[in-house]
Structure 1
Amino acid sequence: MKILVVDDDEIIRDLLQHLLEQEGYEVYLANDGTEALHILQKENCNLVILDWEMPGLSGPELCRAIRLGDFGGYVYLMLLTSKTTTDEFVEGMASGADEFVRKPFNAAELRMRVAAGIRVLSLETRDALIFTLAKLAESRDADTGMHLERVQRYSRALAQSLSKHSSYSQQIDFGYIRNLFLTSALHDIGKVGIPDNILLKPGRLTPEEFEMMKQHTIIGADTLQEAMNHHPHVKYLRMAYNIALYHHERWDGSGYPRKLAGNDIPLCARIVSLADVYDALTSKRVYKDAYTHEEARKIILESSGTHFDPEVVEAFLDCEPAFIEIKQQFNGDGTLEFDRLMCHA
Structure 2
Amino acid sequence: MIVDDVPVNIKVARAYLANAGYSNFITVTDAENVQSVMEKESPDLLILDIMMPEISGLDILRDIRSDERFAYMPVLILTSAESRDIKREALELGTTDFLSKPIDPDELIPRVRNSLKLFEYQNNLEQQVRERTAALEKSRIDIIECLARAAEYRDNDTGRHVLRVSKYAGAIGRELGFSDVEIAELELAAKLHDIGKIAIPDAILHKPGSLTEQEFELIQMHCGAGKKIFESLSRTEMNGVLQHTTSGAALIQNCGSDLLDLASTIALTHHERWDGTGYPLGLSGDDIPIAGRITAVADVYDALSSKRVYKPAYPRERCFRIMEESRGSHFDPDVLDAFFNIREEIIRIQIDFADVD
TM-score, structure 2 as length reference: 0.60
Aligned residue for 1:182? 188
Distance in 1 between the 2:293 and 2:234 partners?
A: 21
Aligned residue for 2:96? none
C-alpha distance 260-85 of structure 1, shift in aligned 2 (>3 A): farther
1:143–1:333 CA contact under 8 A, matched in 2: no
1:293 equivalenced with 2:339 (yes/no): no
SS in 1 for 2:354: coil
SS in 2 for 1:186: coil
Of structures 1 and 2, the larger Rg is shown by 2
Aligned residue for 1:226? 232
Shift of 1:153: 0.5
The number of aligned residues is 234
Identity %: 40
Alignment-mate amino acid for residue 319 of structure 2: A
1:127 equivalenced with 2:138 (yes/no): no
Aligned residue for 2:84? none
1:140 equivalenced with 2:154 (yes/no): yes
Aligned residue for 1:302? 325
Q: Which structure dedicates a bigger proportion of its chain to helix?
A: 2
Q: Deviations over 1:233-256 (max 9, x none)?
A: 621121111111111000000000
Task: Could you tell me which runs of 5 or more consecutive residues in structure 1 were left unpaired when the two chains were aligned.
Answer: 1-51, 54-82, 90-99, 164-171, 335-345
SS in 2 for 1:143: helix
1:252–1:306 CA contact under 8 A, matched in 2: yes
1:198 equivalenced with 2:208 (yes/no): no
C-alpha distance 111-194 of structure 1, shift in aligned 2 (>3 A): same
Distance in 2 between the 1:117 and 1:228 partners?
A: 33
Pairing 1:145-164 to 2, within 5 Å after superposition: 145-163=159-177
1:328 equivalenced with 2:351 (yes/no): yes
Shift of 1:185: 1.0
Distance in 2 between the 1:232 and 1:309 partners?
A: 33
SS in 1 for 2:203: helix
Distance in 2 between the 1:221 and 1:249 partners?
A: 14
Pairing 1:1-345 to 2, within 5 Å after superposition: 101=69, 108=120, 111-122=124-135, 123-163=137-177, 172-226=178-232, 231=254, 234-332=257-355
Shift of 1:117: 2.3
Q: Deviations over 1:98-138 (max 9, x none)?
A: xx6459x9994665544332222112111111210121121
Alignment-mate amino acid for residue 272 of structure 2: E
C-alpha distance 255-304 of structure 1, shift in aligned 2 (>3 A): same
1:282–1:290 CA contact under 8 A, matched in 2: yes
1:246–1:256 CA contact under 8 A, matched in 2: yes
Shift of 1:286: 3.9
Shift of 1:288: 2.7
Distance in 2 between the 1:227 and 1:160 partners?
A: 34
2:189–2:263 CA contact under 8 A, matched in 1: yes
Distance in 1 between the 2:155 and 2:207 partners?
A: 10
C-alpha distance 299-232 of structure 1, shift in aligned 2 (>3 A): same
Distance in 2 between the 1:255 and 1:329 partners?
A: 31
Q: Deviations over 1:35-78 (max 9, x none)?
A: xxxxxxxxxxxxxxxxx99xxxxxxxxxxxxxxxxxxxxxxxxx
Distance in 1 between the 2:308 and 2:204 partners?
A: 16
Distance in 1 between the 2:344 and 2:70 partners?
A: 40
1:152–1:184 CA contact under 8 A, matched in 2: yes
Alignment-mate amino acid for residue 269 of structure 1: G
Q: Deviations over 1:263-302 (max 9, x none)?
A: 1001111111110011101101344321222211111111
Task: Could you tell me which runs of 5 or more consecutive residues in structure 2 were left unpaired when the two chains were aligned.
Answer: 1-38, 41-62, 74-115, 236-251
Distance in 1 between the 2:258 and 2:323 partners?
A: 30
Distance in 1 between the 2:163 and 2:292 partners?
A: 17
SS in 2 for 1:254: coil
SS in 1 for 2:214: helix
